Structure 1
Amino acid sequence: MRKRIGIIFGGNSVEHEISILSYIQISHAINREQYEILPIYLTKTGSFWVGPHFDELKTFQKAKFKHYEVVFYQKNKQLRLGGLKYLPRRYRKPIDVILPVVHGRNVEDGSLAGYFRILNATYASCDVLPAAILQSKIHTKKMLEFVGIPTIPYHAITNSAYMEDSSNILQTCECLAYPMIVKPVSLGSSIGIKIATNRDELEKAIIYAFKYDEQIIVESKLDDFQEFNQAVLETDGSYILSEIEEVKTENSFLTFADKYLPATSSRTIPAEISESLAGLINETSMMVADHFKIRGISRIDYLYDRKSDTLYVNEINSIPGSLAFYLFEDKISFTDLIDLLIKAAIRAKYRDDLKINSFQSLVLSSTRLLKK
C-alpha cells in the first residue's frame, strides 16, 4: 500500500510564492507508484486548504480557485483532515508523513514543526529547536561562535533600541567600517537586504530592514570573496553531503533575482576549487549538521574571503528552496532524494515513539496540594 504524504506549502511569509514553486517541483518528482501525495496549501492568513489541480502552477496564478478549508486532528494514532464544511472522502484518509516545503518566518522557523509535534505527526524536516535557531541570523551566529566556526563580524540591533538611541548605535556599527550589509534577522531569499557605503545609506538601510523585522544585523561587507552552497541530507543520524556549488553574480551580493531568476547569476556544480578548500567546506558542513542537530535536508551558504583565506558560514536554511535537489543530482536523483527523506522521517518518528513521554503519579489524587 502506498504511503500517503501530506505536502505543506505556502504560509504567512515573504517567501510564500517560492514555497509554491518548491511544491510544484516536488509534486512532479515524487514517485507516484510508491507514494500518494496530498497537497495542503497554507494560506497567508493561516488557513489550510486542499483542492483539485494543486499540482498545477496556473491554479495559484488565479485570484480565486476551488478549495476546501480543513483542520488537522488525530484519531486512533493517525493524522487526518477534517473539513470546516463539506470535505470529499478522498481528502479524509490518514496521512502517514508530513513533508514541509515552506520557507521563511512563521513557518520554517519551527512554528510548523511545533504544530505537528503537538499532533504527534511524522515530520520530514528539522525539529522545533534547530528550526527556530536557524531562522534567526543572530542565534545562528551565536551558536557558530560557541562551537568555533567563523562567522562574519556583526552588530545586532533591535527596533526599540534604535528608536531610543540611533546616534550611538550608528556610531557602534561604524566600528565595522564601510561598506556594510544590513539584513533582517529572520528573513531569507535576500529580502530586505541593502548595502551601505556611508552613514546616510546605513540609516536608510536600517530603516528599510526594520520594515521586515523587529531585529536586524549589520555585517562587515567582504570585498574579495567567493560564495558557495552545500546541502546536507540527514538519515538516521548520519549525513550525506551534496556537491559544492559556486554562485557568481555581478551584483554586490546575491539578490532575490540571482537566486530565483537564473539569467541573473551563474552557477558552477561542482565548484572549481582547490582540494583543501573543498575539504574545509565538507568538514564544516558536517560540523554544522552535527552541532545544530539537522534533520531532513538543509543547505549551508558560505562566503570565502580570499584576502584573509577565511571560510565563513553565512546562512543555514533548514528547508531550502526545491529541497536543494540540484546539488545532489550527480549523486542522487530528485525522486530518490525525496524517497530517502521520507523514509528517514519514518524511522526517526519510530525512534521518537520509543521514548517515554508520560509519567504516572498520585499528584492529582493528593489533597495536600489544595491546602493553603
Structure 2
Amino acid sequence: MKLTILFGGASFEHEISIVSAITLKEKLSNFDLSFIFCDVDHKFYLIEASKMKAVTFSKGEHKKMPELTLAEGGFVQKSLLSKTMHNNVVLNLIHGADGEDGTVAALFDFYSIKYIGPRLNASVFSYDKRYTKYLCEAIDVKYVKYNVLTKDEHKHIDIAMPVIVKPASLGSSIGVSIVKDENELDYALDTAFEFDKTVIVEPFLEGVKEYNLAGYYANGEMHYSIVEEPQKEEFLDFEKKYMDFSRCEQVLKADISEELEKRLMSNFERVYRGLFEGSLIRCDFFVHNDEILLNEINPIPGSMANYLFEDFSAALEALSESLPHSKRVKVSYEYIHSISKAKGK
C-alpha cells in the first residue's frame, strides 16, 4: 500500500510528531511510504526515507530536500522543467496544534486530498478539553467534573484538593501538575498558563483505574484494539509519554471482565460514531466507583496506537479504503445568467 505520512507542525508537540513518524517508518516497513515534513514556518518538505532520523530535523538538513506546495488532490513538487504530483492517501501524524486542531483537516478538505485523520468537527471537540466535556454531555458519556480558568479572569475553584491542573488544548502531559496543597496551586497555574490561555482543573481521583482503547470504522463496522491498562505512577508525565510514542511492540491486554470490556467499547462507539469517521483514535477512560468516565480523546494518538493492534498494517489499509468523501457543490451560474438576461446584459 502507498501511504504518505505528514508530520511536524508548529506546536509544542513538534518533536513528538517526529518521533512518531520515525516509529511508523519501522512499523510499516511493508508499505510503500513517503514522508512530508511540515516545519514550524509551515513549509512542506519531501523527506528521503533514508533520512528519517532525528538529526535530520535537529540539524536543519530537511531544508536541503525538495519543497512542496499544496494543490488540488495532493502535494506538488516543482522543478525548472517539470512538476511531480504526490497524491497518495495522507496519514495526518501531526500531534497538537496544526494536526489535531483542525488546521490540516481544513486544508485537506479544501484541496480534496484523501487523508486518514480527524475531520474539522472532530478536531474541534477533541483538541480542546472543554469541548470534549460538552460532547460528553451531548452523547450521554460520563466524564470527570471540572472547572475552567482563564488567564485574564481567574475563577473560584470549587473542587477539593488534590486536583489536576492542565492546559485545555495540549496533550502529552505538557504543563500538567498535580496539586495536593493550596500553596502549590499558583505555581501549577502559572505553569499551565505558559502553554494555554485556558486551563482545566479536575479532581485527582484516588483509587482510579485507567484503560486505553483505540479503534476505527471501516467496511461498515467498528474495529477495536485490545484494552490496555497503562502502567504508571500518579500520572503519566511528559518524559514517559515521549518514550511511549516510540513504542512498536504490542502491549498486554488488560485483565478485565468481558462485561467491562463491552462497556468500554460501548462508550467508545458513542464518542466515535457520526464524528470521527476517517480516523483512528484512542480514548482514555477512567473507572471509578464502577463508573466509566471519559478522560480524554486522542484523535491522533502517538505512533497511531500501533502497539494496541494485532495487525496495525491491516487496520490502516482497511481505514484507507473506507474514508469519508465530501461532495463538491456544482455551480451552474443559472441565477447570475437569469439576472443578466433580465437586465439585458
TM-score by length of structure 2 reads 0.89
In structure 2, give the amino acid aligned to 1:56. K
Match of 2:76 among 78, 81, 85: 81
Identity %: 30
> In the alignment, does 2:153 pair up with 1:161?
yes
Task: Figure out how many residues of one structure are paired with residues of the other and give that number.
Answer: 335
Q: Secondary structure at the match of 1:152?
A: coil
- 2:142 corresponds to which of 125, 129, 150: 150
Q: Which runs of 5+ in 1 are unaligned?
A: 163-168
Q: Distance in 1 between matches of 2:251 and 2:303?
A: 18
Residue of 320, 330, 338 corresponding to 2:316 = 338
Which one of 45, 49, 68 corresponds to residue 41 of structure 2?
45
Please list, as runs of the form range in 1=range in 2, the aligned pairs for 1:154-193 lying within 5 A after superposition.
154-162=146-154, 169=155, 172-173=156-157, 175-193=158-176
Counterpart secondary structure, 2:304: helix
Q: In 1, are the aligned partners of 2:219 and 2:318 still within 8 Å (CA)?
A: no
Matched, 1:246 2:241: no
Deviation of 1:343 after TM superposition, in Å, equals 2.2
Q: 1:113 touches 1:126 (CA, 8 Å); kept in 2?
A: yes
Kindly indicate whether the alpha-carbon contact (under 8 Å) linking 1:325 and 1:337 is maintained by their aligned counterparts in 2. Answer: no
State the distance in 2 between where 1:160 and 1:364 align.
48
SS of corresponding position for 1:71: strand
Q: Could you tell me which residue of structure 1 aligns to residue 237 of structure 2? A: 255
- For the aligned residue pairs, the C-alpha RMSD in angstroms reads 2.5
Query: Aligned equivalents of 1:180 and 1:213: distance in 2?
Result: 18
1:255-274 superposed matches below 5 A = 255-261=237-243, 269-274=252-257
Cα separation, partners in 2 of 1:238 and 1:357, compared to 1, 3 Å: farther
Q: Aligned ranges for residues 104-119 of structure 1 at < 5 Å?
A: 104-119=96-111
1:28-79 superposed Cα distances (whole Å, 9 cap, x missing partner): 33365xx5332100002211112433433442343434322221112xxx42
**Does the C-alpha gap of structure 1 residues 291 and 96 become closer, same or farther in structure 2, counting only changes over 3 Å?**
closer
Q: 2:277 & 2:238 partners in 1: Cα distance?
A: 25
Superposition deviation, residue 320 in structure 1: 0.7
Pick one of 29, 32, 36 that aligns with 1:36: 32
Contact 2:77 2:85 (C-alpha < 8 Å) held by counterparts: no
The unaligned stretches of length 5 or more in structure 2 are: 245-249
Give structure 1 regions of 4+ aligned residues with deviation exceeding 4 angstroms.
86-89
Matched, 1:69 2:62: no
**Gap change, CA 1:221 and 1:97, over 3 Å in 2:** same
Partner of 1:360: 332
Q: What's the TM-score once normalised by structure 1's chain length? A: 0.83
**Alignment partner of 1:301 is 2:298:** no
CA shift in 2, pair 1:73/1:87, >3 Å: farther
Equivalent of residue 315 in structure 1, options 274, 293, 296: 296
